[in-house]
């Protein structure tokens, strides 16, 4: 019984250690991927090198500053993010809290390759800021140029909040939250899909307000190309968690910010049974621009509305609502309901953990048996044998 109790305690410790190890590995992998795709505008190494970063539809780059760095080795720094394709659309997104410079000696200018004489974004001393969340344009590269306005004066990087991301317009990482400055930002579609949530997790805020926008309008438009008439604006809806805990209405207007029922081509209310179901919708051919109109109860606290309680995927799509529901070329596991997707993830984790547990336990048992076998059956050396060679 004592041996069994010790073995059970050992297995419990081993299982806890295994779970902790897996979580740490996943976290480190995520952290490494983020840092691997990051360019710091105050890095001595990056500012001194001529390294350029290349964006693809699967790879994007974050451009920010390292707040742990005391002083940069240079009074100015330029980072260039190139596009892998010869000619297409690059998107510049502002993530997290809005970027700002709260040190009067700092200046950030952002250029594209089509007009490198004049920046399309210029950040100076706070409260100067860029009000939009995303801009997409035809360009081969985007250049970030951070400098001290007075070369010999100090620049406090802890007073700089720079949170940019450069993406291909076809990237699946493009995201909209229905609050703050995401409202009124125009989003362009060109072989694109944009994920839309009500609000982010509370540990990743996008505003300093305690309440959410009562009314949020987000224009979405297709980019004109040769096959313009063959595609339609389509939606795929996935309920996630606590989708009906608060009252909300998500609709699409073909008349800008108009909320007249006659101008609405799609409406979903949280009280509808359909709000609990995965479904798809496509606009009629010829509708190339819509405006998302999202309404909440007035003065809703952030804490009262569950973050990411639903997900809309809006895209320019060459097909029908039925084909969109079964098309897995881009959406992958997103075609599953959240419970199914989560269940699949848990199943994979359980299988991996079970195999690792079995392997570790088997190894421990083998070593224990081997040790006992050796103790019982191998000859014991006498002291005089040990000294005689």
Per-residue pLDDT, 355: 52
Top-confidence residue, 384 or 167: 167
Contact (CB, 8 A) for 144 and 101:
no
Q: SS3 for 94?
A: strand
Contact 88, 225 (CB under 8 A): no
Q: Kindly state the tokens that stand for 99.
A: 């970027």
C-alpha 136: how far from its chain's center? 18
Is the predicted pLDDT of residue 98 greater than 80, yes or no? yes
Quick check: 381 pLDDT over 60? no
d(CA 310, CA 178): 11
Q: Could you tell me the two tokens for 25?
A: 């590995």
Q: Which is higher by pLDDT, 69 or 373?
A: 69
Q: How far apart are CA 328 and CA 336, in angstroms?
A: 10
Q: Give the pLDDT confidence score for residue 299 in this predicted structure.
A: 76
Tens-place pLDDT, residues 268-325 = 999 999 999 999 999 999 999 999 999 998 878 899 999 999 999 999 999 999 999 9
Phi-psi region of 206 (alpha: psi -120 to 50; beta: other; left: phi over 0): alpha
Is 60 exceeded by the pLDDT of residue 237?
yes
pLDDT band at 357 (very low <50, low <70, confident <90, very high): low
Local structure of 246: helix, strand or coil? coil
Whether the Cβ atoms of residue 163 and residue 95 lie closer than 8 Å to each other: yes
> Quick one: pLDDT band at residue 350, thresholds 50, 70, 90?
very low
Give the pLDDT score at 356. Answer: 55
Nearest residue to 251 via CA among 239, 263, 243, 241: 263
pLDDT per residue as tens digits for the range 181-217: 999 999 999 999 999 999 999 899 999 999 999 999 9
Nearest to 145 by CA among 115, 123, 127: 123
CA distance 40 to 66: 6
Q: Whole-angstrom Cα distance, residue 257 to residue 273? A: 26
**Between β-strands 76-83 and 52-55, what pairing exists: parallel, antiparallel or unpaired?**
parallel
126-161: pLDDT as tens digits:
888 999 999 999 999 999 999 999 988 999 999 999
User: Token pair of 58, please?
Assistant: 């699967």
Length of the chain: 389
Report residue 272 as tokens: 């509808």
Is residue 109 scored above 60 in pLDDT?
yes
**Residue pair 176/132 in contact by the 8 Å Cβ criterion:** no
Q: For tokens 């002083």, what's the residue? A: 71
Contact residues for 118 (Cβ-Cβ < 8 A; gap 6+) = 111
The count of other CB atoms within 10 Å of the CB of residue 177 is: 25
pLDDT at 273: 94
* Cα–Cα distance, 383 to 296 (Å, whole number): 85
Radius of gyration of the chain (CA): 28
Check whether 69 has a pLDDT greater than 60: yes
Condensed to tens digits (0 to 9), the pLDDT of residues 4-58 reads 555 555 455 455 544 444 434 433 333 344 446 999 998 888 888 878 899 999 9
How confident is the model over 240-271, as pLDDT tens digits?
Answer: 988 878 899 999 999 999 999 999 999 999 99
340 pLDDT above the threshold of 80: no
Q: Please, are residues 290 and 232 in contact by the beta-carbon 8 Å criterion? A: no
Q: Locate 31 and state its tokens.
A: 């952290």
Residue with tokens 């200046």: 107
Domains and CATH numbers, the chain: 32-168 (2.60.120.290), 174-335 (2.60.120.290)
Average pLDDT, the chain: 80
């Amino acid at each position: 019984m004592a041996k069994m109790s010790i073995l059970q305690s050992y297995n419990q410790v081993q299982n806890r250690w295994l779970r902790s190890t897996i979580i740490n590995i996943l976290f480190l992998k995520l952290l490494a991927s983020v840092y691997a795709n990051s360019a710091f505008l105050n890095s001595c190494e990056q500012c001194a090198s001529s390294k350029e970063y290349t964006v693809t539809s699967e790879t994007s780059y974050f451009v920010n500053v390292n707040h742990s760095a005391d002083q940069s080795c240079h009074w100015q720094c330029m980072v260039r993010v190139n596009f892998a394709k010869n000619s297409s659309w690059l998107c510049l997104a502002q993530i997290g809290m809005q970027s700002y410079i709260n040190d009067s000696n700092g200046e950030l200018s952002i250029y594209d390759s089509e007009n490198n004489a004049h920046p399309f974004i210029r950040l100076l001393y706070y409260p100067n800021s860029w009000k939009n969340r995303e801009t997409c344009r035809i360009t081969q590269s985007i250049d970030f140029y951070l400098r001290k306005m007075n070369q010999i004066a100090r620049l406090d990087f802890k007073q700089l909040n720079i949170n940019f991301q450069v993406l291909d317009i076809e990237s699946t990482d493009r995201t909209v939250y229905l609050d703050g400055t995401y409202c009124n930002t125009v989003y362009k579609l060109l072989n694109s899909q944009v994920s839309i949530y009500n609000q982010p997790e509370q540990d990743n805020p996008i505003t300093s307000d305690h309440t959410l926008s009562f009314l949020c309008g987000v224009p979405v438009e297709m980019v004109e190309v040769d096959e313009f008439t063959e595609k339609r604006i389509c939606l795929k809806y996935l309920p996630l968690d606590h989708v009906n805990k608060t009252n909300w209405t998500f609709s699409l207007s073909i008349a800008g910010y108009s909320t007249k029922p006659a101008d609405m081509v799609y409406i979903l209310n949280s009280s509808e049974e359909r709000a609990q179901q995965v479904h798809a919708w496509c606009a009629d051919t010829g509708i190339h621009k819509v405006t998302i109109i999202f309404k909440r109860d007035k003065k809703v606290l952030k804490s009262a509305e569950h973050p990411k309680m639903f997900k809309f995927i809006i895209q320019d799509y060459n097909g029908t609502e039925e084909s969109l529901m079964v098309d897995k070329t881009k959406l992958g596991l997103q075609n599953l309901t959240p419970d199914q997707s989560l269940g699949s993830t848990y199943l994979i984790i359980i299988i991996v953990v079970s195999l690792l547990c079995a392997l570790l336990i088997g190894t421990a048992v083998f070593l224990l048996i081997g040790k006992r076998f050796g103790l019982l059956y191998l000859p014991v050396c006498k002291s005089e044998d040990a000294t005689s060679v």
